[in-house]
Chain A
Amino acid sequence: MKPFDYTRADSAAQAVREYAPGTMYLGGGTNLVDLMRLGVAEPERLVDVSRLPLDTIESVRDRVRVGAAVRNTDLAVDPMIRARYPMLARAVLTGASGQVRNVATVAGNLLQRTRCAYFQDVTRPCNKRRPGSGCPAIAGDHTNLAILGSSEACVATHPSDMAVALAALEAEVHVTGPGGDRIIPMPGLHRLPGEEPERDTVLEPGDLITAVELPPPPAGATVYRKVRERASFAFALVSIAAVLDVGDDGVVAGCRIALGGVAHAPWRAERAEQALIGGPATGEAFLRAAEAELEQARPLPRNAYKVPLTRNLIVSTLEGLAS
Chain B
Amino acid sequence: MEITLQVNGKPRTVDVDPRMSLLDLLRERLGLIGAKKGCDHGQCGACTVLIDGRRALSCLALGVAVDGSEVTTVEGLANGDELHPLQAAFIEHDAFQCGYCTPGQLCSAAGMLGEPGPSAVTEDILVDPDLTPEEIRERMSGNLCRCGAYVNIVSAISEVAR
Contact = CB atoms under 8 A, between A and B. Distances in A.
Nearest to B127: A82
B138 A232 contact: yes
B65 A6 contact: yes
B142 A26 contact: no
A103 interface: yes
Contact of A34 (B60, B111, B140): B60
A50 interface: yes
B55 A98 contact: yes
A243 to B, nearest CB: 16
Of the four ranges (under 10, 10 to 19, 20 to 34, 35 or more), the interface on chain B belongs to: 35 or more
A193 to B, nearest CB: 25
A3 B56 contact: no
B36 interface: no
B41, B42, B111: residue with the most chain A Cβ atoms closer than 10 Å: B42
B54 interface: yes
A287 interface: no
A98 B117 contact: no
A5 B17 CA distance: 9
B125 interface: yes
B55 A102 contact: yes
Contacts of A50: 65
Contacts of A277: none
B119 A82 contact: no
24 contacts: A6-B65, A26-B62, A28-B60, A30-B42, A30-B57, A33-B21, A33-B60, A33-B62, A73-B117, A76-B118, A77-B118, A82-B126, A94-B120, A97-B142, A98-B55, A99-B57, A99-B111, A100-B60, A102-B55, A103-B56, A103-B61, A231-B138, A231-B141, A232-B137
Interface of A: 1, 3-6, 26, 28-30, 33-34, 36-37, 46, 48, 50, 73, 76-77, 82-83, 86, 89-90, 93-94, 96-100, 102-103, 231-233
Interface of B: 1, 17-19, 21, 40-42, 45, 48, 51, 54-57, 60-62, 64-65, 108, 111-112, 115-120, 125-126, 137-143
Given A6-B1, A30-B42, A73-B54, 6 more contacts: A30-B57, A33-B61, A82-B125, A90-B125, A99-B57, A103-B51
